[in-house]
Amino acid sequence: MADDRLRMQDPREQYPKPPFPEQPQPVPGLAREMTPKPDHGETSYKGSGKLVGRKALITGGDSGIGRAVAIAYAREGADVALSYLPDEQPDADEVIRLIEAEGRKAVALPGDVTDEAYARGVVREAAERLGGLDVLVINAGHQQAYESLDKITTEDFDETLRTNLYALFWMAQEGARLLPPGGAIVTTSSIQAYEPSTAIMHYAMTKAGIVAFTKALATELIEKGIRVNSVAPGPFWTALQPSGGQMQEKIPQFGAQSKFGRPGQPVEIAPVYVLLASQEGSYITGEVYGVTGGEGIA
């Protein structure tokens, strides 16, 4: 499988294309319940030692993009701590096993990043249990679609901001105090920061905020030798989508409008997170890397 993913081929046909079955799940959703199952790199990502000796904390590491990043980091030689919601334990257990199968240390840190005490404490605990912290990937996100502006609830608006922005701020503050020169912070923004959809306009607002915060933080932390960058995904096939991130009637054709005619698979974005964490990205900071299926960011 690993060799097949790297074999030159038509990228439009490399992974499943719509239509997909409707598959409603309760929030936060589990990757194991999706059809087709996403490719996070479980058998398809092959490492080459780019992160040997690094110690990383990844939030939202149980499924989706965070899971793909965790697998890639372990296969590149890093020890990895995972933050995730307790309800996501079944998916997280699978990731822990995959990390340990690479001979790397895996640390499970379940909790809710909307709680300030947990969000700050998880960074410190990851550093303590890993014996240091070199890379902080702030990836956990909340996305809930609504039919119109007047349907968005104050409760969901609050949860979206607390998950996507407050937690980012809390963890970045703690990370800035702990990461050494050469360390890296990687955030997850979105094409929604540039091309917002009305059904998730409050989510799009937070993603635009992540872009601004990342750029400002990069300017400050380079004075400590810490690089800060963001990755902006387009439509990716993750548990976020069927668990309310999209209106359910849009799931069958999810990703069909991209230039590839399909959504991205999490394993396809993981190498960008590897680059931004590695010494190969030594002259990159304050940047937003779009992986959008050809839509670009501007």
Catalytic site positions: 203
DSSP string, the chain: -HHHHHS---GGGSS--S--------TT--GGG-SSPP--STTT----STTTT-EEEEETTTSHHHHHHHHHHHHTT-EEEEEE-GGGHHHHHHHHHHHHHTT--EEEEE--TTSHHHHHHHHHHHHHHHTS--EEEE--------SSGGG--HHHHHHHHIIIIIHHHHHHHHHHHHPPTT-EEEEE--GGGTS--GGGHHHHHHHHHHHHHHHHHHHHHGGGT-EEEEEEE-SB-STTIIIIIS-GGGGGGTTTTSTTSSPBPGGGTHHHHHHHHSGGGTT--S-EEEESSS----
Q: What does the alpha-carbon distance between residue 139 and residue 154 come to, in Å, rounded to a whole number?
A: 23
Encoding tokens for residue 198?
């009305």
Question: CB–CB of 179/228 below 8 Å?
Answer: no
Of the candidates 128, 216, 221, 126, the residue with the CA atom closest to the CA atom of residue 180: 221
